[in-house]
Amino acid sequence: MQLDGISAIVTGGASGLGEATATMLAGAGADVVLADLDDERGNTTAKRLDARFVRTDVTDPAQVSAAIEVATESGAPLRLAVNCAGIAIAVRTLGRDGSPHDLGLFERVVRVNLIGTFNVMRLTAAAMARTEPLEDGERGLVVNTASVAAFEGQIGQVAYAASKGGVVGMMVPAARDLASVGVRVCTIAPGTFETPMMGVLPDEAKAALAANIPFPKRLGRPEEYAALVRHLAENTMINGEVVRLDGALRMPPK
């Protein structure tokens, strides 16, 4: 699938991995819709990219449907959805004082990262299924974002790891479900990347994280995530696959 002339939705598109992906897509000729909760950054990024911003809570079906409607207004077929929206917390199953993990907080992380991803996937896939097929009968691609925490969650990542493990777990059945309409599903599992989520850490902490990465011995760059999204879009044979983007990192317990 070529990116020029298609419509694409990027959740979490106002910053980090999503912003880099939206920038790549716009540069490749795609009509991009940024679906995010950050009005200021969303509007600024959309203006810079000549894209469109729709304030979107990924867990809200009506708001996601509104973003899809905007994505199809230009007449370009919606063929790509990239799920980058997500949240992370650091809370142990039992705190140092013996208090159990707050259940509401666990539910919120799972709701945004897993249920939100599924909500966007199901609704964008329905829109893609209504488009005319390309070569090989392809109609579109959904790229979901997991994390290496799905496989090696660290201390304090029980909620985050559970949510990202769910994203990995639903990929193959989703790809099989959508094969009949020519919609592919792939997942990227990034390691430690230089994103706003990491921006709050001091330089020493970032250096310590980079030291655990075999090669290249640095944090990942959002542009490298975006480059993988492009390859997944253009290589139709990749389907139902999770790709670790981590420099051979295997996360230690803490």
pLDDT score, position 246: 93
207, pLDDT greater than 90: no
Q: Which of 160, 226, 233, 251 is catalytic?
A: 160
pLDDT above 70: residue 202: no
Q: Is the pLDDT of residue 208 over 80?
A: no
Q: Give pLDDT, residue 69.
A: 97
Report the SS3 class of residue 30: coil
User: Tens digits of per-residue pLDDT, 13-70?
Assistant: 999 999 999 999 999 999 999 999 999 999 999 999 999 999 999 999 999 999 999 9
Nearest of 117, 112, 243, 247 to residue 189 by alpha carbon: 243
For the stretch 225-236, pLDDT in tens is 999 999 999 999
Tell whether 252 is covered by a domain: no
Alpha-carbon gap, residue 130 to 76, rounded angstroms: 13
The CATH number of the domain where 143 resides is what?
3.40.50.720
Mean pLDDT of the chain: 95
C-alpha gyration radius of the chain: 18
Flag whether 46 is in a domain: yes
Q: How far is CA 78 from CA 31, 97, 139, 146, 183, in A?
A: 9, 50, 9, 23, 11
Task: Render pLDDT for 167-196 as a digit per residue (tens, 0 to 9).
Answer: 999 999 999 999 999 999 999 999 999 887
Please give the residue range of the domain that contains residue 199: 7-244
In a domain, residue 74? The reply is yes
Main-chain phi, psi angles of 184, to 5 degrees: -90, 155
Residue 253 maps to a domain: no
Q: What is the pLDDT of residues 124-151, one digit of tens each?
A: 999 999 999 998 999 999 999 999 999 9
pLDDT tens profile 82-129 = 999 999 999 999 999 999 999 999 999 999 999 999 999 999 999 999
The verdict on whether 225 is a catalytic residue reads no
Domain-located, residue 112:
yes
Residue type, 114: L
Looking only at the bridges linking them, the beta strands covering 7-11 and 78-83 are parallel
pLDDT band at 210 (very low <50, low <70, confident <90, very high): confident
Residue 204 pLDDT > 80: no
Q: How confident is the model at residue 200 (pLDDT cuts 50, 70, 90)?
A: low
Share of the chain above pLDDT 70, in %: 97
85 domain residue, yes or no: yes
Band of pLDDT at residue 156, cut at 50, 70 and 90: very high
Report d(CA 251, CA 193) in Å as an integer: 13
pLDDT for position 199: 64
Report how many domains make up the chain.
1
pLDDT tier at 254 (50, 70, 90 boundaries)? confident
Helix axes 116-129 and 61-72, enclosed angle (nearest 10)? 40
Contact 110, 160 (CB under 8 A): no
254 falls within a domain:
no
At residue 201, the pLDDT reads 62
Kindly state whether residue 249 falls inside one of the protein's structural domains.
no
